Amino acid sequence: MKIQRAYTKAGESPYEAIPFRLASSEIRNPDGTVVFRLDEAEVPSGWSQVAVDVLAQKYFRKAGVPARLKVVR
């Protein structure tokens, strides 16, 4: 089976076509205390603040997730 390239160019990262921006997110307890704060997360520029908050809440600093982040582009 041979799969032909459709949406990317050979030798180029597929992430080069996606504009990114820096965003911050805070996760708070019901009493207002900050549980987790993330400054300068690099996210696609089309993402809303809600999308950034969901990313932080679900995927950053959870048990079993390494503290080191890897840039994809």
Question: With 70 as the cut, is the pLDDT of residue 63 above it?
Answer: no
Work out the end-to-end distance of the chain between its first and last CA atoms, rounded to an integer number of angstroms. Answer: 29
Rounded distance, CA 27 to CA 72, Å?
A: 24
> Can you read off the two tokens belonging to residue 38?
């993330």
Does 38 fall in a domain? yes
Does 24 fall in a domain? yes
Does 5 fall in a domain? no
Strand partners, 47: none
Does 43 fall in a domain? yes
Does 48 fall in a domain? yes
Tally the domains of the chain.
Answer: 1
pTM for the model stands at: 0.67
Does 19 fall in a domain? yes
Collect all residues with Cβ–Cβ distance below 8 Å to 30 and sequence separation of at least 6.
Answer: none
Rounded distance, CA 21 to CA 67, Å?
A: 21
Q: Dump pLDDT digits (tens) for 2-30.
A: 999 888 888 988 888 899 999 999 988 89
Q: Which domain holds residue 40?
A: 14-59
